[in-house]
Homo-oligomer: A and B are copies of this chain.
Amino acid sequence: MITSGLEDYIELIYNNISKGKDIKAIDIANKFNISRASVSEALIRLADKNLIIYEGRKGIKITDEGIVEAKKIIKKHNILTVFFNEILGANFDFANKNACKIEHVIDSELIDKINEFTVFCKENLIDKKFLKDNDD
C-alpha cells in the first residue's frame, strides 16, 4: 500500500513521462508546494517500493509497476472529475480538486459503478438537464 502523498507524486511523474516530458524533483516540489528535501525523501520511498528508478540528477524513470499504480489513480481521477463536472454540474476546477482527494480513498469497484452510471446518465438525461449552473 502507498500513501496518498506518494500517489500524488507517482501520478504527476507518470503524467509527465507519458507525454514525453521529463520531470525533476524540483517540479514535484513546486507542484505540491513542498520542500526539495521532502521530495528527495519521497522519491527514495517510491524507489524503495519499486515504482520509480531514481538516480538523483540523472532523472526519474517510472517502472512497469509504477505505471500500473499511476494508471489506477489517474483512472479514478478522470472518472470522478467527469462525473462531478459533467453530471453533477460542478465547475471543472472544483470537480478536479475534489477528485484529487477522493481518488486516494475510493474503491475501484465503486469507481466502475460511477463510470457506468455516468455513461447511463449521458444517454438518458440529455433532455432533462439536471443542473444549469455548470460554468464551463
Give the segment of A13-21, A49-57, A106-114 that binds chain B: A106-114
Which residues of chain B have C-beta atoms less than 8 A from A104's C-beta?
Answer: 105
Name which residue of chain B comes closest to A133, CB basis: B113
Identical chains in the assembly: 2
Q: A84 at interface (Cβ–Cβ under 8 A)? A: yes
Interface size class of A (residues with CB under 8 A): 20 to 34
Whether B87 and A117, one on each chain, are in contact in the complex, defined by CB atoms closer than 8 angstroms, is: yes
Whether B106 and A102, one on each chain, are in contact in the complex, defined by CB atoms closer than 8 angstroms, is: yes
Bound-state CA distance A103–B50 (Å) is 31
Bound-state CA distance A130–B93 (Å) is 28
- The 0/1 profile, CB within 8 Å of B marked 1, for residues 82-105 of chain A is 001001111000110110011011
